[in-house]
Amino acid sequence: MTITRRRILLSTSAVALSAPWVRPRAADTWLIGQSAPQTGVLAPSNAETTAAARLYFERLNARGGVHGKPIELISIDDGQDAKRTAENTQKLLNQGVLGLALYRTTPSSEAALPLARKAGAAYIGTQVGPSMLYDPKLSEVFNTRARYSDEVNRAVNFFKNLGLTRVAALVATDSFGKDVLAGLRQALAGAQLELLAQASIDNRSADVTEQIEQLRKVNPQVVLLVSNAKAAAGFVKGARAAGFQPTFVALSNTSSASFVQDLGKAAEGVVVTQVMPSPYAGRVRVVTEFREAVAKAPAVPVSHAGLQGYVTAKFIHEAIRRAGPGVDRAGLVEGINRSASFDLGDFTLNYPRDSRQGSRLAELTVIGRDGRFMY
């Protein structure tokens, strides 16, 4: 399925229309808050995830919502600025949101999580997987995806099995990059390998000219791309244009239709770790449901990023349903922890008392000639 630029822009526009100042009263609506980048280098992938979550809620609300009330996702742009994330989060909590969901970056979660915990609000389904969100003591946190370290372990096992031992990395300088780098070094040590070199990048930037030349000099067999999707795509395109042809491995944070589109002809052969089932296959019930919904909403692309938004929205719906019609913030947190397991359609999220993991699915895909992720 070819994703056009127009579809991505339509998804972005749908998110941008979520003005936070005109909203139903909390008594009439289940309000879920989100602070995420609607502008900047992360806007396209965030738009896919958020649009798919909204699609789920719209379809649910058309059937009467849950306990007779609609679910509304209030999304405010933070421009990938953690300070703005904190300000937005406090505004959302003051507006009476039942919980927070689908935050986009590691620095954003570092800023928002203390506020969520202080308010007793559930912190659900972030789009990222840093280790700090998986502490068993964080009873308000409910991850709907595997952690970055799970992805890195799969990647290291992959290239070790292929006999690829010269490993380099493009690494963001923020807490996201630091978290993944720590996991990468640990995984490499376990495989009796070392990191040959690393090139740093501001994760709000997509300029990788210097980084390409820096890593090219050490002649790695593998380059792990620990950056935003725009920078990762730019690195692959620039490297290949310069005749620099290692195996490129990107993490799930890049896994979006917009990433493949940005790669263009350079997409084929790029390895991407995934934390969602294939959105193209129909053997998983929630995927079939997602594809049927997207077929009637052409502005929402079929992508792993979109599926994560859809899965998280369905989880929120089921959590509210189980918690009952009078649920408040504390009741939602308690209800999820009490239920512990949520089968969303051949994709189950588990929250035993000693884990915030939700899902442990971490798989490898390769982008094919048609732009699809092949398992």
pLDDT reported for residue 287:
98
pLDDT at residue 14, as a whole number: 43
Asked if residue 366 is part of any domain, the answer here is no
Give the orientation angle of helix 209-216 with respect to helix 229-241, to 10 degrees: 60
Residues 116 and 164 in one domain: no
| One-letter amino acid of 127 | Q
Of 254, 274, 294, the domain-final residue: 274
Which CATH number covers residue 72?
Answer: 3.40.50.2300
Residue 98: inside a domain: yes
**Within this chain, do residues 46 and 108 fall inside the same structural domain, yes or no?**
yes
Whether residue 328 lies inside any domain: the answer is: yes
Residue 373 lies in a domain: no
pLDDT computed for residue 4 by the predictor:
39
Q: Are residues 140 and 285 part of one domain? A: yes
Asked whether residue 170 is domain-assigned, the answer is yes
Residue among 59, 57, 62 at smallest CA distance from 72: 57
Instruction: Kindly state the DSSP code that residue 2 receives in the 8-state scheme.
Output: P
Are both 285 and 270 inside the same structural domain?
Answer: no
Contacts of residue 161, defined as CB under 8 A and 6 or more positions apart, other chains included, come to none
Clarify whether residues 268 and 339 are in a common domain: no
Q: Tens digit of pLDDT for each residue in 113-152?
A: 999 999 999 999 999 999 999 999 999 999 999 999 999 9
Same domain, 152 and 118: no
Q: Are 289 and 311 in contact, with CB atoms under 8 Å apart?
A: no
Residue span of the structural domain in which 40 resides:
5-145+281-350
Please check whether residue 10 lies inside any domain of the structure.
yes
Distances (CA, A) of 70 to 63, 192, 331, 369: 9, 53, 18, 42
Predicted TM-score (pTM) of this structure: 0.92
Residue whose C-alpha is closest to residue 270's, from 196, 361, 369: 369
Kindly report, residue by residue over 45-83, the tens digit of the pLDDT.
Answer: 999 999 999 999 999 999 999 999 999 999 999 999 999
On whether both 18 and 40 belong to a single domain, the answer is yes
Q: For strands 99-101 and 71-77, give the pairing.
A: unpaired
- In terms of domains, do 95 and 216 share one? no
**Are residues 287 and 328 located together in one domain of the fold?**
yes
Residue-level pLDDT at 11: 41
Q: What is the pLDDT of residue 26?
A: 65
Say if 367 falls within a structural domain.
no
| Mean per-residue pLDDT pooled into runs of 10, the chain (375 residues) | 38 41 67 98 97 99 98 98 99 98 98 99 98 97 98 97 98 98 98 97 95 98 98 98 98 96 97 97 92 95 97 99 97 96 98 94 96 91
The pLDDT score that the predictor gives to residue 25 is 54
Residue with tokens 């989060």: 89
Give the Cα separation of 57 and 61 in Å (integer).
6
